[in-house]
Amino acid sequence: MSIYFSPFVIPFLIGVIVLIIICCIKYIRWYNQFDRVQKTVILKNIISWRFLSAIWETIMEALLHRKVFKRSFLLGYMHSSIALGWFLLIIVGAIESEIAIQTDKPFWIGIFYRYFVHDSHAFKHAQFFAHFMDLLLLYVLSGVILAYIKSIYSRIVGMKKTTKHVIFDTFAKFALWLIFPLRLLSESFTAALYNNGGFLTQTLGNMINYTVADVLEIPAWTLYSFALGTFFISMPFSRYMHIFTEVIFIFLKKLGVGENEQISGYTMFELSACSRCGICIDNCPLHKDLQLPGVQSIYFLRDLRYKRPREEIAENCLMCNRCVAECPVGLDLMTIRRQMRYKKDLDTHANYNYIENLQPFNSIGRIIYFAGCMSHLTPGIIDAMTTIFEKVDQKYWFMDKDRTICCGRPLLQQGFSIQAAELRRKNTQLIKQSGATMLITSCPICYQSFKKEYNLPIQVMHHTEYIHMLIKSGKLKLRKDDLKVVYHDPCELGRGCGIYRQPREILKTVTHLLKTKNEKEKSLCCGYNLGNTVINLEQQTKIRNAAMSSLRAKNPDLIVTACPMCKKAFKRASDFTVKDVAEIVKENIISE
């Protein structure tokens, strides 16, 4: 038996062993659930620069929690002090014991170093290490104290709603909360006895009576070990599973692995990589405007992870992407929702026979204009686009003018992935056969579909990109009117496809663009998003009104958007003027 052993190490040891075994079992099982493509991608990319960038991302996100910092400084500090602080305690502790003890030593020595090594001058810089370890402990403790406060009063760290957790979480949480105070206590007792502490533990140690310390030293270290053991054992079953899983997830993602339309091992990694931080709750429109409990991404993932998914929760999401934009882990939340919406039992294959009769139009030398089903309900947009095409002498094939099929995305969002694939196949064929070199669409839903779900050999543009290009190249000359406008970022165009700049630049050319409170990634959903089939009209209206009042806060003359859905949503609201970017452009064309 090593001299660096004491019975109190046992709980810790058991914890570590159980943790390693369970994690290995889980990870291996999930890896086996990867499909062939996912596995090939990993093997192909494992030796590449992607690996380095994954390391970087791990440091930035898993340790420093950069994205959480962006959301709120205190929340970021809380997360990073515990993660980074603990990580450094382990690393620096290992270095310290490595320098101090040249002989064989067990791996836990760094964790209980001060109990086993009493000589405060064991090596040259031992004093420095003692102080430095104390500093790190203080750093972690400050985070833990913030966590105490957060659980009592979450607004301090910038969150309105904190998460309801499962029982394992509670266990793990209390263990985690106890670990560092207990470490402080144990080291202080030891310092009281042997004067081997740093600035913090020694100061505390000096205040403790020698006899008291003598009696309580071992119990304190035992409790510390118990806390560690409890935390490790409950970790794989609690949200703290994210600590390791997040790192693996970051690597997988950086190596190019992604979600499939069906649940895979990757999904399992995602589910466990969610730290249940709750950041996705506050700004979810279903929480903010409707106070619907239990449907936000955090709850959805939790229920799925504990194998009690509920269909109505999978369906109850606007697919507005707001939580995706906020999630510090960067989980692919929308695809997981879709996987759970998958409607395999509904075979509607026969319904699609008619699409075979559709014929392409010879469009060599032309572009394709695909307005989108929704734009057909807002003919003002179509009218504006066809006018613009004529103005710049652009020949086009109006692909979905008549007798046409949908891009498929609305079906996909509802879980009809087979049916959507059928439509994509036919549209792809029509587009390829037409000979056109570019496709322009007025609908962000179609745009996202053509961009991401299709694999088209031709360029795809949203009409705002196209108009922007026309203006830049001088083909389209516009005058500036003196309207004050605000721009509403449609979910599918903004957060969905990252188009923020072009519509704004167009609007700055033709109007006076006012800034609004909720812009770009923070834009509010109009509520009429096709993603949600559960909420009713009244609830949609509430979400819409919230978005609308934020847009109207600065009294603009009109609201401009770039999506027929958003336009319809706002237009139904009132007599307030709402226009599409294309319409404003059309009105301001200078005709020579």
Q: Nearer Cβ to another protein, position 222 or 441?
A: 441
Q: Nearer Cβ to ligand SF4, position 261 or 521?
A: 521
- The verdict on 322 binding ligand SF4 (CB under 6 A) reads yes
Q: Nearer Cβ to ligand SF4, position 172 or 506?
A: 172
Question: Residue 419 binds which one of ligand SF4, another protein, none, with CB within 5 to 8 A depending on kind?
Answer: none
- The verdict on 567 binding another protein (CB under 8 A) reads yes
**Site residues (CB under 6 A) for ligand SF4, limited to 255-294:** 274-280, 284-286
- The verdict on 380 binding another protein (CB under 8 A) reads yes
- C-alpha distances (whole Å) from 292 to each of 272, 282, 287, 299, 402 are 24, 11, 5, 12, 40
Residue 11: which of 179, 167, 258, 161 has the closest Cα?
A: 179
DSSP 124: T
Provide the minimum distance between the beta carbon of 18 and ligand SF4 in the complex, in angstroms, as a whole number. Answer: 25
Q: Nearer Cβ to ligand SF4, position 54 or 301?
A: 301
Provide the minimum distance between the beta carbon of 492 and ligand SF4 in the complex, in angstroms, as a whole number. Answer: 11
Answer for which of 219, 258, 293, 379 binds another protein (CB under 8 A) is 379
- Chain-centre distance for alpha carbon 44: 26
Residue 242: which of 30, 62, 18 has the closest Cα?
A: 62
The rounded distance, in Å, linking the Cα atoms of 96 and 23 is 28
How many residues touch ligand SF4 under the rule CB under 6 A: the total is 26
Query: Residue 591: helix, strand or coil by DSSP?
Result: coil
What would the two tokens of residue 184 be?
């402080």
- The verdict on 571 binding another protein (CB under 8 A) reads yes
Question: Residue 286 binds which one of another protein, ligand SF4, none, with CB within 5 to 8 A depending on kind?
Answer: ligand SF4
List of long-range contacts for 495-499, beta carbons under 8 Å, 24+ apart: 495/320, 495/321, 495/322, 495/324, 495/325, 495/521, 495/523, 496/321, 496/444, 496/448, 497/444, 497/447, 497/448, 497/451, 497/452, 497/462, 499/444, 499/462, 499/464, 499/465, 499/562
Provide the minimum distance between the beta carbon of 461 and ligand SF4 in the complex, in angstroms, as a whole number. Answer: 25
The rounded distance, in Å, linking the Cα atoms of 579 and 582 is 8
Question: Residue 571 binds which one of another protein, ligand SF4, none, with CB within 5 to 8 A depending on kind?
Answer: another protein
Answer for which of 383, 390, 433, 452 binds another protein (CB under 8 A) is 383
Q: Please list the residues that pair with 461 across neighbouring strands.
A: 440
Residues with Cβ within 8 Å of residue 93, at least 6 apart in sequence = 110, 111, 113, 133
Is 28 in contact with 52 (CB distance < 8 Å)?
Answer: no
Q: Among the candidate windows 249-257, 261-269, 312-320, 362-370, which touches ligand SF4 by CB under 6 A? A: 312-320
- The verdict on 507 binding ligand SF4 (CB under 6 A) reads no
CA dihedral 505, 511, 514, 520 (to 10 degrees): -30
Q: Nearer Cβ to ligand SF4, position 302 or 424?
A: 302
Question: Residue 379 binds which one of another protein, ligand SF4, none, with CB within 5 to 8 A depending on kind?
Answer: another protein
- The verdict on 340 binding ligand SF4 (CB under 6 A) reads no
Provide the minimum distance between the beta carbon of 422 and ligand SF4 in the complex, in angstroms, as a whole number. Answer: 26
- The verdict on 575 binding another protein (CB under 8 A) reads yes
The alpha carbons of the chain give a radius of gyration, in whole angstroms, of: 29
Provide the minimum distance between the beta carbon of 531 and ligand SF4 in the complex, in angstroms, as a whole number. Answer: 7
Q: Nearer Cβ to ligand SF4, position 79 or 567?
A: 79
Provide the minimum distance between the beta carbon of 145 and another protein in the complex, in angstroms, as a whole number. Answer: 51
Q: Among the candidate windows 5-13, 311-319, 372-380, 478-486, which touches another protein by CB under 8 A? A: 372-380
Q: Nearer Cβ to ligand SF4, position 316 or 434?
A: 316
The rounded distance, in Å, linking the Cα atoms of 460 and 347 is 31
Q: Nearer Cβ to ligand SF4, position 251 or 466?
A: 251
Q: Nearer Cβ to ligand SF4, position 151 or 433?
A: 151
- The verdict on 406 binding another protein (CB under 8 A) reads no
- The verdict on 377 binding another protein (CB under 8 A) reads yes
- C-alpha distances (whole Å) from 355 to each of 125, 351, 439 are 78, 9, 20
Q: Strands 438-441, 396-398: parallel, antiparallel or unpaired by DSSP?
A: unpaired
Provide the minimum distance between the beta carbon of 35 and another protein in the complex, in angstroms, as a whole number. Answer: 41
Provide the minimum distance between the beta carbon of 381 and another protein in the complex, in angstroms, as a whole number. Answer: 9
What would the two tokens of residue 485 be?
């406008």
CA dihedral 497, 498, 500, 506 (to 10 degrees): -50
Q: Nearer Cβ to another protein, position 258 or 379?
A: 379
Query: Residue 45: helix, strand or coil by DSSP?
Result: helix
Q: Nearer Cβ to ligand SF4, position 75 or 581?
A: 75
- The verdict on 376 binding another protein (CB under 8 A) reads yes
Answer for which of 130, 157, 257, 318 binds ligand SF4 (CB under 6 A) is 318
Q: Quick one: 332 exposed, middle or buried, by C-beta within 10 A (0-12, 13-18, 19+)?
A: middle
**Site residues (CB under 8 A) for another protein, limited to 537-556:** 537, 541
The rounded distance, in Å, linking the Cα atoms of 528 and 490 is 11
Total count of residues recorded for the chain: 592
**Site residues (CB under 8 A) for another protein, limited to 509-538:** 537
Dmax (CA) for the chain in angstroms is 98
- The verdict on 297 binding ligand SF4 (CB under 6 A) reads yes
Q: Nearer Cβ to ligand SF4, position 271 or 385?
A: 271
Is 321 in contact with 499 (CB distance < 8 Å)?
Answer: no
Answer for which of 41, 158, 568, 587 binds another protein (CB under 8 A) is 568
Q: Quick one: 177 exposed, middle or buried, by C-beta within 10 A (0-12, 13-18, 19+)?
A: middle
Residue 80: which of 95, 67, 94, 63 has the closest Cα?
A: 63
H-type alpha helices, 320-416: 322-326, 333-341, 379-391, 409-413
What's the number of CA atoms in the CB half-sphere (13 Å) around residue 182? 19
Provide the minimum distance between the beta carbon of 384 and another protein in the complex, in angstroms, as a whole number. Answer: 10
Q: Nearer Cβ to ligand SF4, position 176 or 470?
A: 176
Provide the minimum distance between the beta carbon of 543 and ligand SF4 in the complex, in angstroms, as a whole number. Answer: 9
Interacting residues with ligand SF4 (CB under 6 A) = 274-280, 284-286, 296-298, 301, 317-323, 326-327, 329, 331, 333
> Given the rule CB under 8 A, which residues bind another protein?
376-380, 382-383, 401, 537, 541, 567-568, 571-572, 575
